């Protein structure tokens, strides 16, 4: 518990202190957000708002994670380092995307192929890594099984698991990216998801098969350290939200959204809750589904289901205030997270 509190506290402080000078630097070099011409017209006022605020989230989270290990005098675990690798690696891909947008003064950065290649390179490194490094109990950071509340079904071949992990990584990182369209929306939703993983990591530690071979015990390799990772990112996101709340003084950009999406799926794979992520990140799923439905409907019938996709822009065009949309979507995400935690707890209860 000390490590979790230390990680969140250090990350919160570091990210919060870093934000003001980062905003000034980004303003000075005119690293501002480019707004799409086909987006809601109300967003034109956000043109030039500093972006790449994800730098502060990532830096604060990494310092918080390793700082917590310094406080507790414990070494980082393989599971924690691999999730941090995925987090930072996808953040670097997002940084390149943001930088190109700013440098070329356009709303599109990396070409889709180059962006996908970056996600694949980082994702393959993570996916292969989690199948290695067994501890003395032969537990690896991840497993080649599918998982919902724990592993189930037969194991996959490593190459098939790598493909499955890549699908999760690309889908989740892009889902958070799509959600990052209104001030504070993606940040608040991510905070709620990270709270779930702090709880899950703690829970799995207390019911670990290493401590007692109970019928419902967990074979997760490093549950406490995964909770520390989630807590570190939680602190960084809370600090960022202070400056990202409407009207935002800074945006996280693809630097933050791709990194946070990667972090969530990394935690899902290493805590053996891959499919539960669909509930923990329920808002991200809804928003991504709205884009798929919109594109599919338009290509098949020539008609649009929503006034604009992603979903949050549909409600903007219906006249909802931005703050109203953000708060209501946070409530929806909170309900998803509560449902996920309830499912996790009810499955564990002895029958």
pLDDT digits (tens, 9 = 90+) for 37-49: 555 555 555 666 8
User: DSSP string of 192-252?
Assistant: HHHHHHHHHHHHHHHTBTTT---TT-B--S-HHHHHHHHHHHHHHHHHHHHHHSSSPS---
- Torsion region of 243: left, alpha or beta (phi above 0 gives left; psi -120 to 50 gives alpha): alpha
CB atoms within 10 A of CB 219: 17
The residue-averaged pLDDT of 308-314 equals 88
pLDDT digits (tens, 9 = 90+) for 115-154: 899 999 999 999 999 999 999 889 999 999 999 999 999 9
The per-residue pLDDT of the chain, averaged, comes to 90
Predicted pLDDT of residue 31: 72
Q: How far is CA 269 from CA 50, 140, 205, 223, in A?
A: 33, 11, 16, 12
Is residue 31 a contact partner of residue 51, using CB atoms and an 8 Å limit?
Answer: yes
pLDDT band at 334 (very low <50, low <70, confident <90, very high): very high
Predicted pLDDT of residue 108: 63
pLDDT tops 90 at residue 162: yes
Q: Per the structure block, which two tokens stand in for 215? A: 């019928």
pLDDT digits (tens, 9 = 90+) for 203-212: 999 998 887 7
Annotation-wise, does 216 bind a ligand? no
Which of 118, 111, 128, 115 has its CA nearest to residue 164?
128
Domain ranges of the chain: 1-279
β-strand partners of 208: 218
Predicted pLDDT of residue 46: 61
- Torsion region of 47: left, alpha or beta (phi above 0 gives left; psi -120 to 50 gives alpha): beta
- Write down the number of H helices and E strands in the chain: 12, 2
pLDDT tops 90 at residue 26: no
Cα gap 22→49, rounded to integer Å? 12
Predicted pLDDT of residue 48: 67
User: Do strands 146-147 and 151-152 pair parallel, antiparallel, or not at all (unpaired)?
Assistant: antiparallel
Window from 102-111, 246-255, 337-346 with minimum mean pLDDT:
102-111
Determine what percent of the chain falls in helix, strand and coil, rounding each to the nearest 5: 70, 0, 30
Predicted pLDDT of residue 105: 64
Q: What is the dihedral of CA 90, 253, 55, 272, to 10 degrees?
A: -40
Residues 6+ apart with CB under 8 A from 36: 43, 107
Query: What share of the chain has pLDDT > 70, as a percent?
Result: 92
Predicted pLDDT of residue 204: 93
Higher pLDDT, 216 or 48: 216
Predicted pLDDT of residue 91: 96
pLDDT tops 60 at residue 34: no
The residue-averaged pLDDT of 237-249 equals 92
Predicted pLDDT of residue 43: 52
Whose tokens are 């990532």? That residue is: 58
| pTM for this entry | 0.93
Higher pLDDT, 45 or 193: 193
Which of 303, 306, 265 has its CA nearest to residue 289?
306
pLDDT band at 114 (very low <50, low <70, confident <90, very high): confident
pLDDT band at 87 (very low <50, low <70, confident <90, very high): very high
Predicted pLDDT of residue 213: 74
């Amino acid at each position: 518990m000390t490590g979790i509190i230390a990680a969140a506290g250090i990350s919160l402080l570091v990210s919060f202190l870093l934000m003001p000078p980062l905003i000034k630097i980004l303003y000075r070099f005119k690293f501002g957000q480019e707004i799409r011409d086909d987006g809601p017209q109300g967003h034109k006022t956000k043109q030039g708002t500093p972006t790449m605020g994800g730098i502060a989230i990532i830096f604060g989270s990494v310092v918080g994670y390793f700082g917590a290990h310094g406080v507790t005098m414990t070494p980082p675990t393989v599971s924690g380092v691999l999730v941090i690798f995925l987090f930072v690696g996808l953040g670097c891909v997002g940084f390149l995307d943001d930088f190109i947008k700013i440098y070329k003064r356009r709303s599109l950065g990396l070409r889709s192929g180059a962006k996908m290649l970056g996600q694949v390179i980082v994702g393959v490194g993570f996916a292969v890594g989690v199948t290695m490094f067994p501890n003395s109990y032969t537990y690896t950071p991840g497993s080649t099984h599918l998982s919902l509340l724990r592993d189930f079904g037969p194991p996959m071949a490593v190459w098939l698991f790598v493909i499955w992990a890549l699908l999760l990584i690309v889908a989740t990182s892009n889902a958070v990216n799509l959600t990052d369209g209104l001030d504070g929306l993606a940040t608040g939703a991510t905070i709620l998801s990270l709270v779930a993983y702090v709880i899950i990591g703690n829970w799995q530690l207390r019911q670990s098969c290493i401590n007692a071979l109970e019928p419902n015990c967990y074979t997760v390799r490093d549950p406490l350290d995964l909770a520390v990772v989630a807590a570190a990112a939680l602190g960084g996101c809370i600090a960022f939200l202070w400056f990202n709340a409407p009207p935002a003084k800074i945006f996280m950009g693809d630097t933050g959204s791709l990194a946070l999406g990667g972090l969530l799926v990394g935690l899902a794979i290493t805590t053996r809750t891959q499919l539960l992520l669909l509930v923990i990140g329920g808002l991200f799923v809804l928003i991504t589904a709205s884009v798929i439905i919109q594109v599919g409907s338009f290509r098949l019938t020539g008609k649009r289901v929503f006034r604009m996709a992603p979903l949050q822009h549909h409600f903007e065009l219906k006249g909802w205030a931005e703050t109203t949309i953000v708060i209501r979507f946070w409530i929806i995400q909170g309900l998803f997270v509560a449902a996920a935690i309830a499912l996790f707890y009810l499955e564990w209860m002895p029958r």
